[in-house]
């Protein structure tokens, strides 16, 4: 992409309600813009990042034997009446009417629709297990949409639903998905923890959450320094007041808070500490809650009809875009991880009136494109300082600065993460970049 032709509307000012780095930098960097409360447009750079995350999620799920589908976003209220959730979902579920006054909802999740899809299509234990997922829009009329993509009203979720002939098989899939999620978040370059969680409105037996560690996280989790144990404080304290009180506290304030507990798993003494986390994934063992309510049955080995054992697995795909930045930024802007960067290399021509600089910029740009490197050429007329600030704000992993030193046969490679600039000879710049990537 040539920057002179690109639609990347960067700005100096952040929206007044943007208190978190991801919200500020994603808007200022021209990744997203707000359409209304909790509603966001993805501009070209934001769309690239979103697609990269979506692709990684899809690749790992497909490898684990899941199949992608796409359900209709709008669902008839009758579905929700069958499960009883028309009553219990409350105001987060937005209801709409069509021209015939028939009632529908903007889907906040899709358990009922997925059960209806599988019902009478999977009839025998021989056809099980099945794990179907979609990466689709969700709408939740959140009481307080905020923090940009972290808590939107319309957002992109990966939601998977699995069907089994026995509880043991459902637990096997639950464990497989836990491992699959770990692969996904590791590939995305995130520092995360798996914690025991409350099942909330979805209901069911066991559930685990995946939290990206970030000071700005809305959730408070407890983790063990000696083993893998982790829990959302929602599962540890009985009263909502204590939970709310701890959630209000900043990460620093929590450090002086004594948990006074030995780790329930490894029994290590004084090994638990509080962390702040952003919930990016949630996996639930559902049992037959929805299949029974919707009378979705299969014939077991003895030919007896039985309700499916189910589990469900969510990932906040659009929330992940912001989570990467909550964990990877400095005061000047975004620092994308290799798997999420909108472009890996930014080739910057400092002075486009300089024929020699321009020529090298073009040559390097073509060379990198031919080598399948995601590259953008900053060929704008603007001053060097302005273009550099822009590169830092957007957060390309590497910027090649083609400037005055070219007269001595040298250019610089700027590393966004370390903020180091290294001088390299014109003849070595391509191979140096390939080594870095
Ligand atoms: P939260 O506790 O943050 O409100 P939740 O527990 O209600 O989330 P789930 O029903 O578990 O959410 O949905 C699966 C995933 O969808 C969550 O783990 C989260 O990553 C994402 N998600 C949920 N609500 C939102 C939202 N308002 N905006 C963006 N992503 C969301
Ligand atoms: Mg959840």
This prediction's pTM: 0.96
Atom 12, ligand 1: residue with shortest CA distance: 282
Identify whether residues 96 and 192 lie together within a single domain: yes
The rounded Å distance from CA 109 to ligand 1 centre is 10
Helix (H, G, I), strand (E, B) or coil at 122: coil
- pLDDT at position 270 is 87
Q: Find the range with the poorest average confidence among 95-109, 160-174, 198-212.
A: 198-212
The ligand with the least distance to the CA atom of 38 is: 1
Flag whether 339 is in a domain. Answer: no
Domain region containing 432: 345-436
In terms of Cα–Cα distance, which of 405, 321, 423 is closest to 31? 321
- pLDDT tens figures, 203-224: 556 899 999 999 999 999 999 9
Any atom of ligand 1 within 6 Å of the Cβ of 281: yes
User: Residue 106 C-alpha to ligand 1 middle, in angstroms?
Assistant: 15
Q: Say which range, 111-115, 202-206, 414-418, 420-424, has the weakest mean pLDDT.
A: 202-206
Dist. CA 207 → ligand 2 center (Å) = 9
Say if ligand 1 is within 6 A of residue 277 CB. Answer: no
Q: From CA 150, how far away is CA 78, in angstroms rounded?
A: 31
Tell me which residue has its CA closest to atom 14 in ligand 1. 314
Residue 204's pLDDT is what? 53
* Domain-embedded: residue 59: yes
pLDDT given for residue 200 in this prediction: 58
Confidence of residue 201 (pLDDT cuts 50, 70, 90): low
Instruction: Indicate if ligand 1 lies below 6 Å from the C-beta of 314.
Output: yes
Mean per-residue pLDDT over the chain, rounded: 95
Kindly state the average pLDDT of the residues 402-417.
97
Q: How far is the CA of 128 from the centre of ligand 2 (A)?
A: 26
Best probe residue, ligand 1, of 148, 184, 316, 323 (max atoms within 8 Å of C-beta): 316
Q: Do residues 68 and 146 share a domain?
A: yes
Regarding whether 92 and 145 lie in a shared domain, the answer is yes
Can you tell me the mean pLDDT for 235-262?
Answer: 85
Same domain, 299 and 402: no
Q: For ligand 1, is residue 157 a contact (CB within 6 Å)?
A: yes
Q: Ligand 1 pocket, 342 CB below 6 A?
A: no
Residue 199 pLDDT greater than 80, yes or no: no
Residues 321-380: tens digit of each pLDDT: 999 999 999 999 999 999 999 999 999 999 999 999 999 999 999 999 999 999 999 999
The ligand 1 atom at the shortest distance from the C-alpha of residue 153 is 27
365, part of any domain: yes
In a domain, 338, yes or no: no
**Is the domain of 135 the same as that of 173?**
yes
Report whether pLDDT(85) > 90. yes
Residue 260's pLDDT band (cuts 50, 70, 90): confident
Asked which of 330, 360, 390 is the last residue of a domain, the reply is: 330
Query: Final residue of a domain: which of 330, 358, 385?
Result: 330
| Residue after which a domain boundary falls, among 296, 330, 364 | 330
In a domain, 3, yes or no: no
Q: pLDDT band for 238, please (50, 70, 90 cuts).
A: confident
Same domain, 244 and 372: no
- Residue 1 belongs to a domain: no
Question: Do residue 186 and residue 60 come from a single domain?
Answer: yes
Ligand with an atom nearest the CA of residue 109:
1
Query: Is residue 336 situated within a structural domain?
Result: no
Strand (E) or helix (H) holding 6: none
When pLDDT is cut at 50, 70 and 90, the band that residue 57 belongs to is very high
Pocket perturbation via mutation, ligand 1, pick of 319, 322, 324 by most ligand atoms within 8 A of CB: 319
- Please tell me the residue having the least CA distance from ligand 1 atom 26: 151
Residue range 118-129: mean pLDDT, rounded: 97
Report the nearest atom of ligand 1 relative to the CA of 320.
20
CATH number at residue 378: 3.40.50.800
- Among 219, 213, 222, 211, which residue's Cα sits nearest to residue 274? 222
The candidate with the shortest Cα–Cα distance to 147, out of 17, 342, 50, 299, is 17
Does residue 316 sit in the same domain as residue 404? no
Based on the fold, state whether residues 24 and 82 are members of the same structural domain: yes
Residue with the smallest CA separation from ligand 1 atom 18 is 281
Residues 272 and 370 in one domain: no
Q: Are residues 309 and 402 in the same domain?
A: no
Q: Is the pLDDT of residue 202 over 80?
A: no
User: Model confidence over 297-322: pLDDT tens digits?
Assistant: 999 999 999 999 999 999 999 999 99
Q: Give the rounded percent of residues in the chain with a pLDDT score beyond 90.
A: 89
Given pLDDT bands bounded at 50, 70 and 90, which one contains residue 45? very high
- Give the N- to C-terminal CA distance of the chain in Å, as an integer: 19
Q: Angle between the 44-63 and 167-187 helix axes, to the nearest 10 degrees? A: 140
Q: What is the CATH number of the domain that holds 137?
A: 3.30.930.10
pLDDT at 7 over 60: yes
Mean pLDDT of 31-60: 98
Domain assignment present for residue 304? The answer is yes
Number of residues assigned to the chain? 437
Question: Ligand 1: which atom is nearest the Cα of residue 314?
Answer: 14
Ion ligand 2 neighbours (CB, 5 A) are 282
Ligand 1 atom closest to the Cα of residue 152 is 28
- Atom 25 in ligand 1: which residue has the minimum CA distance? 151
Q: What is the total count of domains within the chain? A: 2
- For the Cβ of 316 lying below 6 angstroms from any atom of ligand 1, the answer is yes
Domain identity same for 149 and 288 = yes
DSSP string, 352-388: TT-HHHHHHHHHHHHHHHHTT--EEEE--SS-HHHHH
- Is residue 403 very low, low, confident or very high in pLDDT (cuts 50, 70, 90)? very high
Ligand nearest to the CA of 322: 1
């Amino acid at each position: 992409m040539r920057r002179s032709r690109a639609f990347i509307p960067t700005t100096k000012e952040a929206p007044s309600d943007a208190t978190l780095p991801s919200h500020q930098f994603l808007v200022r960097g021209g990744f997203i813009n707000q359409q209304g409360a909790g509603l966001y447009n993805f501009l070209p750079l934001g769309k690239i990042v979103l697609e990269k995350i979506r692709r990684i999620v899809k690749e790992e799920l497909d490898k684990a034997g899941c199949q992608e589908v796409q359900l209709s976003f709008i669902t008839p209220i009758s579905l929700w009446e069958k499960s009883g959730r028309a009553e219990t979902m409350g105001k987060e579920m937005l209801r709409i009417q069509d021209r015939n006054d028939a009632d529908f909802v903007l889907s906040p999740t899709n358990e009922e629709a997925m059960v209806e899809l599988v019902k009478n299509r999977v009839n025998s234990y021989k056809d099980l297990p099945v794990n179907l997922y979609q990466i689709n829009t969700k709408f939740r009329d959140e009481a307080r949409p905020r923090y940009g993509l972290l808590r939107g009203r319309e957002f992109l979720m990966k939601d998977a639903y699995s069907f089994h002939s026995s509880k043991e098989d459902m637990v096997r899939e639950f464990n497989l998905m836990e491992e699959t999620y770990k692969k996904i978040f590791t590939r995305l370059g995130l520092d995360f923890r798996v914690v025991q969680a409350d099942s909330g409105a979805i209901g069911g037996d066991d559930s685990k959450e995946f939290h990206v560690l970030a000071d700005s996280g809305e959730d408070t989790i407890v983790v063990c320094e000696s083993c893998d144990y982790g829990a959302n404080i929602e599962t540890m304290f009985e009263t909502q007041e204590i939970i709310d009180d701890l959630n209000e506290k900043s990460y620093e304030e929590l450090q002086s808070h004594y948990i006074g507990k030995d780790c329930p798993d490894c029994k290590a003494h004084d090994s638990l500490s509080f962390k702040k986390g952003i919930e990016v994934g949630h996996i639930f063992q559902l049992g037959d809650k929805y299949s029974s309510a919707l009378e979705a049955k299969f014939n077991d080995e003895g030919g007896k009809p039985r309700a499916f054992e189910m589990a469900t697995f969510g990932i906040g795909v659009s929330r992940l875009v912001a989570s990467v930045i909550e964990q990877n930024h400095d005061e000047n802007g975004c620092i994308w991880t290799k798997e999420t960067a909108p472009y890996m290399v930014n080739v910057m021509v400092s002075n486009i009136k300089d024929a020699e600089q321009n020529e090298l910029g073009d040559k390097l740009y073509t060379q990198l494109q031919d080598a399948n490197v995601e590259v953008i050429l900053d060929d704008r007329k603007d001053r060097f300082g302005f273009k550099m600030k822009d590169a830092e704000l957007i957060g390309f992993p590497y910027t090649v600065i083609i400037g005055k030193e070219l007269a001595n046969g040298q250019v610089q490679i700027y590393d966004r993460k370390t903020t180091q600039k290294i001088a390299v000879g014109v003849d070595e710049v391509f191979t140096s970049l390939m080594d870095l990537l």
